[in-house]
């Protein structure tokens, strides 16, 4: 009888020891995994701290909302999921919510905004460009002068941010009632809507895309009405640092080379 008890006790002890060994391995594994993760993430943070300027947004140049379209960069062939806004205009469905919030916030501040242009097809841009060139010729300019003047305000077909569905031309309704869709730089810039937008648009992810003093970089003259969606984080960063989207992409490139 005693032998049986001793046997059971030995077996029990053996099981406990084996279980104990496995259990402690398990525990080690569990402990090690997060330790590895936290180590690598802290290394990453360190790398970011040393390479990235303070508060630099954690984004990639290929992010959908950061696409760079300008005179040097044409739009790529891509399908856009468009959604209607303000009656008959269309925007990339991903920015409808932000745009509506922007309009609502303006309304609350007693500024009624009117979007006068949103998504454009390449052929519509072609029509706008041709119309502007003819009008300039009618004013007495040579064809070359008319084209040059046109491209200060209008991007060449295929090179407009409006093709992305991520840009809006927006003015206040008082201006719209007076001038309609005609965009007079000085009059728009001094309107209540433009002043409100300049101060508040970044809170909704939009930037004034062609600011005053940056014409050499954007290659488009100051447009107080053209706002581009880049997302809230980047919009705020650009405003705080006085950067255009071109300059931001340049920084992203530099950081990628440093990494």
Judged by the rule CB under 5 A, the positions of this chain that interact with Zn ion are 169, 226
Q: Are 106 and 113 in contact (CB under 8 A)?
A: yes
Catalytic, out of 107, 223, 232, 250: 223
Given the complex with Zn ion, which of 170 and 243 has the nearer CB atom? Answer: 170
Query: From the centroid of its chain, how far is CA 12?
Result: 65
Query: From the centroid of its chain, how far is CA 54?
Result: 19
For the bound state, the minimum distance from the C-beta of residue 117 to Zn ion, rounded and expressed in Å, comes to: 6
The runs of H, that is alpha helices, within the chain are 2-51, 96-108, 122-138, 143-153, 173-179, 185-189, 192-200, 215-218, 232-241, 245-258
Report d(CA 226, CA 169) in Å as an integer: 4
Q: Determine whether 104 is an active site residue.
A: no
Given the complex with Zn ion, which of 183 and 252 has the nearer CB atom? Answer: 183
Q: Are 166 and 67 in contact (CB under 8 A)?
A: yes
Angle at 128 between CA 124 and CA 133, to 5 degrees: 145
In sequence order, which residues have a C-beta less than 8 Å from that of residue 73 and are 6 or more positions away? Answer: 159
Q: Supply 254's token pair.
A: 């530099």
For the bound state, the minimum distance from the C-beta of residue 225 to Zn ion, rounded and expressed in Å, comes to: 7
Q: What are phi and psi of 83, to 5 degrees?
A: -135, 150
For the bound state, the minimum distance from the C-beta of residue 46 to Zn ion, rounded and expressed in Å, comes to: 41
Given the complex with Zn ion, which of 208 and 234 has the nearer CB atom? Answer: 208
Report d(CA 97, CA 204) in Å as an integer: 9
Residue number of the CB closest to Zn ion reads 226
For the bound state, the minimum distance from the C-beta of residue 141 to Zn ion, rounded and expressed in Å, comes to: 22
For the sheet with 226-229, list strands across it: 113-117, 167-172, 226-229, 206-208
Given the complex with Zn ion, which of 214 and 226 has the nearer CB atom? Answer: 226
Given the complex with Zn ion, which of 57 and 191 has the nearer CB atom? Answer: 191
For the bound state, the minimum distance from the C-beta of residue 207 to Zn ion, rounded and expressed in Å, comes to: 12
Catalytic residues: 223
């Amino acid at each position: 009888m005693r032998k049986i008890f001793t046997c059971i006790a030995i077996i029990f002890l053996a099981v406990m020891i084996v279980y104990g060994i496995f259990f402690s391995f398990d525990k080690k594994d569990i402990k090690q995994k997060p330790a590895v993760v936290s180590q690598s993430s802290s290394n990453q943070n360190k790398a970011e701290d040393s390479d990235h300027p303070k508060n630099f947004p954690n984004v990639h140049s290929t992010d959908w909302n950061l696409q760079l379209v300008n005179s040097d960069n044409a739009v790529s062939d891509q399908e856009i999921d468009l959604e209607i806004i303000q009656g008959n205009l269309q925007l990339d469905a991903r920015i409808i919510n932000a745009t509506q919030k922007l309009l609502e916030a303006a309304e609350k501040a007693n500024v009624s905004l009117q979007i006068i242009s949103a998504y454009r097809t390449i052929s519509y841009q072609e029509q706008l460009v041709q119309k502007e060139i003819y009008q300039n010729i009618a004013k007495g300019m040579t064809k070359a002068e008319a084209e040059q003047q046109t491209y200060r305000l209008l991007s060449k077909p295929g090179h407009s941010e409006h093709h992305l569905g991520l840009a809006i031309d927006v003015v206040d309704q008082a201006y719209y009632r007076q001038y309609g869709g005609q965009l007079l730089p000085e009059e728009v810039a001094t309107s209540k809507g433009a002043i409100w937008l300049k101060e508040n648009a970044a809170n909704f992810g939009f930037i004034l895309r062609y600011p005053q003093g940056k014409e050499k970089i954007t290659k488009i003259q100051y447009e107080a009405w053209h706002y581009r969606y880049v997302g809230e984080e980047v919009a705020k960063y650009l405003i705080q640092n006085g950067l255009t989207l071109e300059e931001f992409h340049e920084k992203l490139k530099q950081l990628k080379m440093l990494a």
